[in-house]
Chain A
Amino acid sequence: MIHRIFSSLETFKGLEFKTGLNVLIAQKEDGATDKQTRNRAGKTSLVEIIHFLTGADAGKDSLCRSTALSEQTFGMELDVGGERIKVSRSGKEKSKIEVGGGSFLGGKTRLTNSEWVDVLGEKMFGLHTIEEDSGRAPTFRSLFAYFVRRQLSGAFTTPEKQAAMQQAGDYQVALLFLLGLDWKIASDWQKVRDREKTLKELKTAAGTGAFGSIIGKASDLRTELTVAEARLSALKAQIASFRILPQYDELEAEVNRLTRETKELLNSNTIDKATVGDLQKAIQSETPPSLTELEGIYAEAGIVLPGVAIKRYEEVKSFHESVVRNRRDYLTGELEAVQARITSRERTKASLDARRAEVMNILQSHGALEQFVQLQGEAGRLEAEVESLRQRFESAEQLEGSKNELEIERNRLTLRLRRDFSEQKDRLSEAILAFEETSKGLYESAGSMTIEETSNGPVFQFPMQGSRSKGIKNMQIFCFDMMLMRLCAKRGIGPGFLVHDSHLFDGVDGRQVISALQVGAKTAKELGVQYIVTMNEDDAFKEKIEGFDLKDYMLPVVLTDAKEDGGLFGFRF
């Protein structure tokens, strides 16, 4: 429970609390005109100060860091872990918490804000027993905010949320923890939601082209992969049947040589064929070469070989005639010789051709070592490409398949939740009954709470007649908080107090307001906890109930906005 709230600010109206119901009233002074208002009297500021002193983040806009208050220190005395602790913090040094008392602090007087939150989490909710988990785990701040709802965070919209912006995963974890159910299911649910979100973003990215070129569509990749694999296997087959010829270069040189020789033979044959033609012509002409040539030589010999005794022409002529007598035979012989040469060349050429064809055949069916190495390199490159494609295909397929997987995971979690609910049936019905009991104290037709296992985790619903009205909604929140209070008190966890801001009673029928306060007082007394309420005077005393006097629970300090110094801080800012 909270014993005392104080400040270094001299004008601050220090507050002292007792067990059970404590009501802080904001009064309408007789002297106040209609234009004056009880707003800004400091009711909501009280809630802010309590949060400030229990480790809330103090942002730039927070009350205790405003220029008027940042120099001041605020403090509170409260029971933590059964011991009375004094805690104070100032807006100026928001991360330094001064503490006093409490044997578990080990004599420490200064803590950082996060250390303080850890201490509170351990002592109030036993959070230190929660093992390290990769998912969401209940935190002190998310649990504590249910007991001191903040209007500034939009805590008075629905019972299950302590802030309007609170995510499903966060309140599911927190509430399952507070109800004593398996909050890990809700944590796993949040993991699925996170993955779904990432997946959706990734898909959008892949679709719009940011990652499109990296991953691509599974169907496209499947085609590409198939084509590349076929190419690779063809290349591999080629390599497997490749026959290396070590003397490839020599054989290539031989082919060149053979070609050159064949060409030479052909040239020689052309010349000889011309000779054959000449000889055949000479043979056909029956007359031997005329004597004119002889005469020419005879004449020339006299000129070019002077001093040589030359025989008489008649002698030479008769010699010549005796020689040419067999001319035809000789010519025929010569012709045959030429033809024999041609035939022999043809034979040589044929054998050269045969050899050349043979070598060419070998060169075509075999390959040089360099060629083989080149093929292997190509195969290696292609193999790497196939591997990269396969990986991309797999990730694309996974990306497209994850959705189904997550759906399955959701169904699995729904089943797990259902199983947990049926196993923890007693706890669940305890909560439902607690809610209903409180509700019964307020309305004739009691409202109820249902917790449904849906594919999106546990969903809290509060079917109640006229539940669209703001007042009835607020009373649902009241019932819900009472229920939490009751369950936590029974299990020995929780802060030991519940604070309700006057906003909770906005728009609530006067009869329900007083009934709620009566139920609150009764419950607090029964559980031995503290119930702190801030109220406007006219709301509080609209109606009366037999046997319940609100004045018994009023704090001695009464706030008013009629005067400059009537508010909680004693001055306006």
Chain B
Amino acid sequence: MILPTKHLSQDRAILTVGARILQHLSQAKTISSLWEELPRNSAGRSDAPQLRYDAFVLALDLLFMIGAIEVQEGLLTKRKVPV
């Protein structure tokens, strides 16, 4: 699920979705505003399947799990990478 497999395209792999989420998280955002801003279809391709909300949640879970994001007072932020 995390990585693309034979039955899961790269676009829909959770890791890829997570990366896209990170790109849009240059500043702190609420979950809802992030969902609104995130382009629903990847790479501008109209025929590709839309990003589902459930998949979005799982991608956030993964990012949190690995410590890429954190929640502070209802806002999601990218975690600074320790130097």
Contacts and interface: CB of A to CB of B under 8 A. Distances in A.
Given A294-B58, A300-B1, A327-B57, A319 B64 contact: yes
A512 to B, nearest CB: 133
A293 B57 CA distance: 11
Contact of A293 (B31, B47, B58, B66): B58
Nearest to A302: B65
Given A294-B58, A300-B2, A323-B57, A330 B67 contact: no
A416 B80 CA distance: 138
Could you say which interface size class chain A belongs to?
20 to 34
Contacts of B32: 326, 329-330
A298 interface: yes
Interface in A203-226: none
Contact of B65 (A293, A311, A334, A338): A311
B2 A297 contact: yes
A316 B2 contact: no
A304 interface: yes
A316 B65 contact: yes
A12 B61 CA distance: 159
B50 interface: yes
Interface in A280-301: 282, 289, 293-294, 296-298, 300-301
Main secondary structure of the interface of A (DSSP, over half): helix
A268 B46 contact: yes
A333 to B, nearest CB: 8
A297 B57 contact: no
B62 interface: yes
Contacts of B61: 294, 297-298, 316, 319-320, 323
Contacts, number: 70
B2 A309 contact: no
B53 A331 contact: yes
Find the residue from A268, A297, A333 having the highest chain B CB count within 10 A: A297
Contacts of B40: 337
A338 B51 CA distance: 12
Given A275-B50, A322-B71, A301 B2 contact: yes
A40 to B, nearest CB: 127
Interface residues of B, number: 23
A311 B62 CA distance: 10
Contacts of A282: 54
Nearest to B68: A308
Nearest to B35: A330
A301 B65 contact: yes
Contacts of A316: 61, 64-65
Contacts of A240: none
B1 A310 contact: no
Find the residue from A282, A296, A298, A320 having the highest chain B CB count within 10 A: A320
B73 to A, nearest CB: 12
A301 B58 CA distance: 12
Contacts of A298: 61, 65
Contact of A319 (B1, B35, B53, B71): B71
A557 interface: no
Nearest to A322: B71
A408 interface: no
Interface of A: 268, 275, 282, 289, 293-294, 296-298, 300-301, 304-305, 308-311, 315-316, 319-320, 322-324, 326-327, 329-331, 333-334, 337-338
Interface of B: 1-3, 14, 31-32, 35, 40, 46-47, 50, 53-54, 57-58, 60-62, 64-67, 71
Closest 5 CB pairs of A and B: A319-B64, A308-B66, A316-B65, A330-B53, A320-B61
